[in-house]
């Protein structure tokens, strides 16, 4: 099997696996304990915070560890809304956000907050002027992702941040950076980001660890209480081994970013060229998107059917975000981009990693052709 679902979960670096195993065996004390073993665990957490901060160009005191990007996004959105509700109860986001942001906004909406969902263009890119125009005096937060998890569309964060702060300097700007870090430059200062979320297992790290950058001077209402861990913002005993391993993955991904892009982008371009030449497909990604995601629709069939056929042919792909892949309804992202319901139901996502080669792309191309032919035969049989 060839694995083409790096945007959902990536295989951990071997060094990350070794680090996590070593820490699990040797450093198992609670980092909050005052004895020597607990102090050693706490020291490793401090060092991990420093490593992640260096990779993001921020200070260690601005780094929080969570259970994943879903928690980081929930804490950023709901934590900011609850903390600053005295300023207002209005949030601006887009129609194409990850469910952990989108549904957090829906939850707040049900509790009385007003949310403006800005539509993207047909390429899945939100207009910075449109986002800024939605900002009001009572807007507490704007949340926009860096890279869309389905189509790979890249949002113009520097312009969005500049216009948002010009519209209301007190409005916080949150960026979901899960699909961008390690693939594209991360420039938190230039974006004027106040909050930024990451997930380790998208970066060839372990599952169960997320990172949330909280700019100095910004406060959040804690969603988990019962302890003073993570500066009081996130109670619960830290997973020392997974955090240390995640910090290593963050460092390696940051160091390898330029090499990664040079390796993966030509493969992505070749695959985009290929799927664009198949008349049955509607291509939903662009060459200006992230270097690791190619998304297309085969409107004739449900995307799950295409994914299963490709798996029979030795290719593991997905239909959309892993958090939504088991849903039967059309993709919310594709509908927002103006695709019809058949295209939104027929989406397939291929996401590349730094282990893929030109030979792998060639094998995938042959599998795509074979899948289309097989599905067309099935459809002809049904129509007889």
Mean pLDDT of the region 90-101: 98
Biggest CA-to-CA distance, the chain: 76
DSSP 91: E
Structure tokens of 287? 């060459």
Average pLDDT over residues 34-43: 95
Nearest-angstrom CA–CA distance, 236 and 229: 6
CATH fold for the domain made of 14-255 = 3.40.640
Are 60 and 50 a contacting pair, CB within 8 Å?
Answer: yes
Residue 324 has pLDDT above 90, yes or no: no
Average pLDDT, the chain: 95
Quick one: pLDDT at residue 320?
Answer: 65
More reliable by pLDDT, 299 or 48? 48
Query: Which residues make beta-bridge pairs with 197?
Result: 176, 212
For strand 315-316 and strand 2-3, is the pairing parallel, antiparallel, or unpaired? parallel
**What six digits make up the tokens of 168?**
């209301």
- How far apart CA 195 and CA 305 sit, in angstroms, is 38
The mean pLDDT of 74-84, rounded to a whole number, is 98
Dihedral of the CA atoms 309, 314, 315, 318 (nearest 10)?
50
State residue 376's pLDDT score: 87
Cβ-contact 222, 233 below 8 angstroms: yes
Any idea which fold 2-8+257-383 has?
3.90.1150
89 DSSP assignment = S
| Residue 379: per-residue pLDDT | 72
pLDDT of residue 328 exceeding 90: no
Backbone dihedral region for residue 228 (phi beyond 0: left; psi -120 to 50: alpha; all else: beta):
alpha
Q: 9, exposed or middle or buried, with CB in 10 Å at 0-12, 13-18, 19+?
A: middle
User: Bridge-partner residues for 174, per DSSP?
Assistant: 143, 195
Which pairing describes strands 172-176 and 195-199: parallel, antiparallel, or unpaired?
parallel
pLDDT (0 to 100) of residue 91:
98
pTM of the predicted protein model = 0.95
Per DSSP, what are the bridge partners of residue 360?
none
Q: Read off the pLDDT of each residue in 184-212 and give the average, rounded to a whole number.
A: 97
Reported confidence tier of residue 327, pLDDT bands at 50, 70, 90: low
| pLDDT mean over 255-274 | 97
Q: Tell me: pLDDT of 62 over 90.
A: yes
Confidence of residue 323 (pLDDT cuts 50, 70, 90): low
Angstrom distance (rounded) from CA 159 to CA 151: 21
Q: Are strands 114-118 and 210-214 parallel, antiparallel or unpaired?
A: unpaired
Which pLDDT value is given to residue 230?
A: 93
Structure confidence at residue 381 as a pLDDT band (50, 70, 90): low
d(CA 244, CA 228): 20
Which of these, 242, 365, 364, 349, lies nearest to 298 by C-alpha position?
349
Domains 2-8+257-383 and 14-255 share a fold: no
Question: 20-43 burial, b for 16+ CB within 10 Å, e for fewer?
Answer: beebeeebebebeeeeeebeebbe
DSSP codes of every residue in 114-156 = EEEEE-B-TTS-B-HHHHHHH--TTEEEEEEESB-TTT-PBP-
Whether pLDDT at 378 is above 80: no
Q: What is the pLDDT of residue 380?
A: 67
Q: Which is more confidently placed, 114 or 301?
A: 114
> Does residue 253 contact residue 211 with C-beta atoms inside 8 Å?
no
The full set of domain ranges for the chain reads 2-8+257-383, 14-255
For the chain, what's the residue count? 384
Comparing 81-90, 228-237, 348-357, the range with the smallest average pLDDT is 228-237
Position 384 confidence tier, pLDDT thresholds 50, 70, 90:
low
* Angstrom distance (rounded) from CA 166 to CA 184: 25
Give dist(CA 59, CA 250) in Å, integer: 15
Q: What is the pLDDT of residues 129-180, one digit of tens each?
A: 999 999 999 999 999 999 999 999 999 999 999 999 999 999 999 999 999 9
Tens of pLDDT, residue by residue over 155-164, are: 999 999 999 9
Q: Write out pLDDT tens, residues 280-308.
A: 999 999 999 999 999 999 998 999 999 99
Dist CA 88 CA 81 (whole Å)? 9
Residues with a known catalytic role: 323
In the prediction, which pLDDT does 377 show?
A: 82
The 10 Å Cβ neighbour count of residue 72 is 31
Please give the Cα distance from 362 to 9 (Å, whole number). 23
Confidence of residue 383 (pLDDT cuts 50, 70, 90): low
Does residue 370 sit in helix, strand or coil? helix
């Amino acid at each position: 099997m060839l694995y083409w679902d790096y945007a959902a979960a990536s295989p951990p670096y071997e060094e990350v696996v070794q680090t996590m195993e070593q820490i699990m065996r040797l450093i198992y004390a609670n980092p909050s304990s005052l004895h020597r073993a607990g102090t050693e665990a706490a020291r490793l957490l401090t060092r991990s915070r420093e490593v992640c901060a260096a990779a993001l160009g921020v200070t260690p005191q601005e780094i929080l560890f969570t259970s994943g990007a879903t928690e980081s996004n929930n804490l950023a959105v709901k934590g900011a809304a609850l903390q600053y509700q005295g300023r207002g109860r209005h949030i601006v986001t887009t129609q194409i956000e990850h469910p952990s942001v989108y549904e957090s906004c829906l939850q707040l909406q049900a509790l009385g907050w007003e949310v403006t969902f800005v539509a993207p263009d047909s390429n899945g890119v939100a207009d910075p002027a449109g986002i800024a125009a939605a900002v009001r005096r009572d807007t507490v937060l704007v949340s926009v992702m860096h890279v869309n998890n389905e189509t790979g569309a890249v949002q113009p964060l520097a312009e969005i941040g500049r216009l948002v702060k010009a519209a209301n300097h007190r409005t916080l700007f949150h960026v979901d950076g899960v699909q961008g870090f390690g693939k594209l430059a991360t420039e938190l200062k230039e974006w004027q980001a106040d909050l930024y979320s990451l997930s380790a297992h998208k970066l060839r790290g372990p599952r169960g660890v997320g990172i949330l950058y909280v700019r100095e001077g910004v406060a959040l209402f804690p969603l988990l209480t019962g302890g003073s861990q993570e500066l009081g913002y996130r109670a619960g005993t830290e997973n020392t081994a997974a955090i240390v391993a995640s910090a290593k993955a963050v460092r390696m991904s940051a160091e390898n970013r330029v090499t990664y892009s040079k390796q993966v982008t030509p493969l992505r371009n070749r695959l985009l060229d290929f799927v664009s030449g198949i008349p049955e497909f509607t291509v939903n990604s662009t060459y200006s998107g992230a270097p690791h995601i190619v998304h297309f629709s085969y409107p004739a069939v449900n995307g799950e059917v295409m994914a299963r056929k490709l798996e029979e042919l030795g290719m593991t792909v997905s239909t959309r975000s892993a958090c939504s892949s088991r849903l039967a309804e059309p993709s919310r992202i594709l509908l927002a981009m103006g695709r019809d319901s058949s295209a939104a139901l027929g989406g397939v996502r291929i996401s590349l990693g730094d282990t893929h080669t030109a030979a792998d792309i060639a094998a995938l191309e042959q599998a795509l052709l074979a899948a289309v032919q097989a599905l067309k035969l099935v459809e002809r049989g049904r129509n007889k």
